[in-house]
Amino acid sequence: MPVKLTAPQATSLLPVKGVQLGFAEAFVKKPNRKDVLVMTLAEGSRVAGVFTKNRFCAAPVILCKDFLAQSHDNQHRGIRALLVNTGCANAGTGEDGLHRAQQSCEALANLLNLQANQVLPFSTGVILEPLPVDKVIAGLPAAIANLKEDNWLNAAEAIMTTDIVAKGTSRKIQLSGKTVTITGMSKGSGMIHPNMATMLAYVATDAAVSQAALTSIIQYAVNKSFNCITVDGDTSTNDSLILVATNLAGNAEVTENSADFITLRDALTDVAIELAQAIVRDGEGATKFMTVTVEGGKNEEECRKVAYAIAHSPLIKTAFFASDPNLGRILAAIGYAGIDDLDVNTLQLYLGDVLVAEKGGRAASYLEEQGAAIMKESDILVRVVLNRGAENITIWTCDFSYDYVKINADYRS
Amino acid sequence: MPVKLTAPQATSLLPVKGVQLGFAEAFVKKPNRKDVLVMTLAEGSRVAGVFTKNRFCAAPVILCKDFLAQSHDNQHRGIRALLVNTGCANAGTGEDGLHRAQQSCEALANLLNLQANQVLPFSTGVILEPLPVDKVIAGLPAAIANLKEDNWLNAAEAIMTTDIVAKGTSRKIQLSGKTVTITGMSKGSGMIHPNMATMLAYVATDAAVSQAALTSIIQYAVNKSFNCITVDGDTSTNDSLILVATNLAGNAEVTENSADFITLRDALTDVAIELAQAIVRDGEGATKFMTVTVEGGKNEEECRKVAYAIAHSPLIKTAFFASDPNLGRILAAIGYAGIDDLDVNTLQLYLGDVLVAEKGGRAASYLEEQGAAIMKESDILVRVVLNRGAENITIWTCDFSYDYVKINADYRS
């Protein structure tokens, strides 16, 4: 069960002017479920994207990058639609996969009177299987028929794979005296690791934002959010985060130099963090949500190494599942994280606000009951203070349960 | 259940002249089990060791390294005994842990009429808990009372923690016309990762070998064996491999330049590989033994990255547990292994001898039934051909099952 995470109410996901969403049940893999999503964007919308660094990136990711690059040319008429399917990742599919992704874009473009390169495609699901593109295309008329702005919850449901709950959130902020809406949704719960997590996420705002500001914001936001989560250390072939600004809120255009820039950046980052954390809270088999903070490193890189050594350790994750304060496993992970000149005698390990270890061993003040009490909670902070410098990092992960094995041993069947 | 691994017969573990072994039931953690082992080495024995690179290395590891360094001085009388306890790792125990390890060496030295620095200490078990050194010391007289050369199986049992079966093997080889015996044993099944695996291993021979040759051989052997295995990617605090040569077989001393060097090196390496593979076959919860070979890399480092990305992926390991040929997960792991200029269109993936993927996607010749048939076996080869260079690497790992979670969620209780 997801850790302190429930699906949003339909009414709590606010429409964003200029973004319409429509879904279909196209039987891509399973019957009777929403599995195709179409999003249309008003003319003049600006779009930025960040994608997986996996070398086996999926065919739709290759097309997305290409079309986004083209969209910065004057010749291009702008990105006007997104097409998402679940049930098949269209990854590890070679030339044929590219062809099928292109076909799906062409089909939607024809129906919407667009060019194919104005449609960004996204797929998630099983790798190494051909995309049933005919089924996707057959679903498009139904999806177009129910396009509307107030349809984010249905959309969030349509992009789920092994997710248990739909993930979405909204904010309203003021920019130059105008009310601006931000709504985002995400999916993903396995094959989750930074660069990026296995996930799709879409965040839209009606704010007017320059392309440069939008690109700057997406990089900032992804590094504070989706690049700080891990479920199982597996970086997916399909990860994509898309940020859309429809330019319909009437605010003065936000540029990197305008006073509103930080306000908008932080609000979008806040949405990205909430969506990223929701993926971890809905991590496959998760029963605990773990925040891992590493402080006092010489640089961010070494903080990251320690944080991920802890977050990826199956021994630590199973101990958290068991609510067992077997905290020596955390020391072991700190020790093998790869900081060659780490002095284990000068660092501190805290669980919540309880000092567990210092001077190379268990803190004199530490009582097993304290650790046991904290381990029973569902949100747990692991804090390592390296005392070597001024850099900090925080990442989020979940525990490792029987159900993780069950879900991943059963996923294809 | 261990994968195609049964405990050796007592008679199949050959005595090594000059090495005596004795055990005790000392209740270090649990009653009614062998948990303290004493090994004595004949005067003139040579000893080499390789230890964990974990910065939180255990107190006994620190002492071992120190005493071994001292043993190369003329003043030192040579390493003459090993003392091993299971049930407590004496790691993450700071100054107090060092003091307790030293106490245990002094107690055994007193009973054997040695100096403390002639005794190498080893501990394995739970981290972050104080070593019950009084119990260890109280067990020493019983262990000394049953010291004998023909006691390797009892010894192998005395060093087990979550191991299901004892691990040991023997060889006889000819060196300069003399018969030389090699016997080794190992323990370990969780917190297993190279540099080194979480494990203890002891290999003894009665061959006469120079110290330089012994040191050269142990480095060679560990890189071909224990540094090529992983169960869960967790590098332990206590890993130790000890190689002993008692110099009693009557052969001409083996030096790095003698004709016998390669014969002895390869026989010892062969024993190390068998002991290392046994640890994987007895990996916590293992139901499959996986050999991962990566060929045709530009350098060993990139082969290693790909091999470990596959061997550490929980998604791949759970798919193997389920006998599900969900082989796209292997492509994903190859893609995120960290080779920045990898061309996914020129590599091949084989399962056993079946070509699964090439040209960036599923091979035209591949049939799901072929993959399904191989996945049902208990020993499975995953072979990646990068076609970028001439370097190869082979590592061994196991799958990820419910029982892995169960064992590690329950381990302390």
Residues of B in contact with A334 (CB under 8 A): 55-56
How confident is the model at residue B197, as a pLDDT? 38
In the prediction, which pLDDT does A413 show?
44
Q: Which of B287, B308, B331, B358 to mutate to probe the A interface, most A CBs <10 Å? A: B331
Residues of A whose CB is below 8 A from B411:
324, 326
Contact at CB, A326 and B91, closer than 8 angstroms: no
Q: Do A361 and B336 touch (CB under 8 A)?
A: no
Query: Which chain B residue has its CA at the smallest distance from A318's CA?
Result: B409
Please report the pLDDT score of residue A17 as a whole number.
Answer: 95
Same fold, B10-281 and B289-410: no
Which two structure tokens, joined as six digits, stand for B52?
């964990």
Does the domain spanning B289-410 belong to CATH 2.60.120.260?
A: no
Give the residue-averaged pLDDT of B153-179.
Answer: 91
CB-based contact A234 B332, cutoff 8 Å: yes
CA distance A372 to chain B (A): 13
Contact A314 B342 (CB under 8 A): no
* Per-residue pLDDT band at A191 (split at 50, 70, 90): low
Q: pLDDT at residue B300 above 50?
A: yes
Whether the pLDDT of residue A195 is over 70: the answer is no
Contact B92 A413 (CB under 8 A): no
Contact B315 A232 (CB under 8 A): yes
| Chain-chain contact of B405 with A402 (C-beta, under 8 angstroms) | yes
pLDDT over threshold 70, residue B195? no
pLDDT surpassing 50 at residue A196? no
d(CA A233, CA B154): 40
The chain-wide mean pLDDT, for chain B, equals 90
A33-37, A127-131, B36-40: which range is least confident on average? A127-131
- The answer to whether A128 contacts B335, with C-beta atoms less than 8 Å apart, is no
| Residues in A touching B399 (Cβ below 8 Å) | none
Q: At A56, is the pLDDT very low, low, confident or very high (cuts 50, 70, 90)?
A: confident
Of A181, A198, A237, A287, which residue is the catalytic one? A198
CA B347 distance to own-chain centroid? 32
Is residue B11 pLDDT above 90, yes or no?
A: no
pLDDT of residue A139: 97
Q: Is B345 left (phi over 0), alpha (psi -120 to 50) or beta?
A: alpha
Indicate whether A274 pLDDT > 70.
yes
Contact B333 A357 (CB under 8 A): no
β B379-385/B289-297 pair status: parallel
Assign domain B10-281 to a CATH class. alpha beta
pLDDT more than 90, % of chain B: 64
Structural domain boundaries of chain B?
Answer: 10-281, 289-410
Measured between CA atoms, the residue of chain A closest to residue B319 is A409
Q: pLDDT of B301-315, one tens digit each? A: 999 999 999 998 888
Amino acid identity of residue B155, one-letter, is A
A196 compared with A26, residue with greater pLDDT: A26
Range list of H helices, B187-286 = 211-224, 261-281
Nearest to A61 by CA among A195, A219, A157, A224: A195
Q: Is A198 a catalytic residue?
A: yes
First-to-last CA distance in chain B?
21
Contact call for B410 and A329, based on CB within 8 A: no
Interface mutation vs chain A, best among B408, B410, B411, B412, most A CBs within 10 Å: B408
Asked if residue A62 lies in contact with residue A167, where contact means CB atoms within 8 angstroms, the answer is no
Tell me what the mean pLDDT of segment B232-253 comes to: 82
Q: What is the mean pLDDT of residues B283-301?
A: 92
- The CA angle A82-A86-A87, to the nearest 5 degrees, is 150
Mean pLDDT of chain A: 90
| Nearest Cβ partner for B314 among A57, A234, A360 | A234
Among B338, B282, B328, CA closest to B308: B338
What's the rounded Cα separation, in Å, for the pair A363 and B281? 37
- pLDDT over 60 (residue B376): yes
pLDDT class for B400, splitting at 50, 70, 90?
Answer: confident
Q: Nearest C-alpha of chain B: how many angstroms from A373?
A: 16
Range B21-50 average pLDDT: 94
- Say yes or no to pLDDT of B396 above 60: yes
Q: Give the pLDDT of residue A250.
A: 94
Query: Nearest C-alpha of chain A: how many angstroms from B224?
Result: 21
Report, as an integer, the average pLDDT of A358-374. Answer: 93
Predicted pLDDT at A354: 96
Q: Characterize A4-43 residue by residue with b for buried, 16 or more Cβ atoms within 10 angstroms of its Cβ, and e for exposed.
A: ebebbeeeebbbbbbbbbbbbbbbbbeeebbbbbbbbbbe
Q: Shortest CB distance from A190 goes to which of B315, B336, B362?
A: B315
pTM: 0.81
Residue type, A108: L
What's the whole-number mean pLDDT along residues A389-402?
Answer: 91
The CA-atom distances, in angstroms, between B111 and each of B104, B122, B360 are 11, 18, 66
pLDDT over threshold 50, residue A28: yes
> Which of A232, A238, A362 is the mutation pick for testing B, counting most B CBs within 10 A?
A362
Query: Taking CB atoms and an 8 Å cutoff, what residues of chain A touch B335?
Result: 54-57, 235, 237
User: Which chain A positions have a beta carbon within 8 Å of B123's beta carbon?
Assistant: none
Cβ contacts below 8 Å, chain A against chain B, sum to 232
Single out the residue of B83, B33, B26, B29 nearest to residue B60, CA to CA: B83
Q: Which of A237, A404, A405 sits opposite B335 (nearest CB)?
A: A237
Nearest Cα of chain A lies from the Cα of B335 at a distance, in angstroms, of 4
Q: Is the ipTM, as predicted for this complex, more than 0.90?
A: no
- pLDDT digit string, tens, across residues B85-139: 999 989 888 899 999 999 999 999 999 999 999 999 999 888 888 999 999 999 9
Highest mean pLDDT among A111-115, A311-315, B124-128: A111-115
- Residue A318 C-alpha, separation from nearest chain B C-alpha, in angstroms: 5
Site from B51, B127, B320 to mutate, A interface, most A CB atoms within 10 angstroms: B127
Question: Can you give the pLDDT at residue A405?
Answer: 79
**Position A111 pLDDT exceeds 80:** yes
Nearest CA in chain A to B403: A402
Asked if A233's CB is within 8 angstroms of B314's CB, the reply is yes
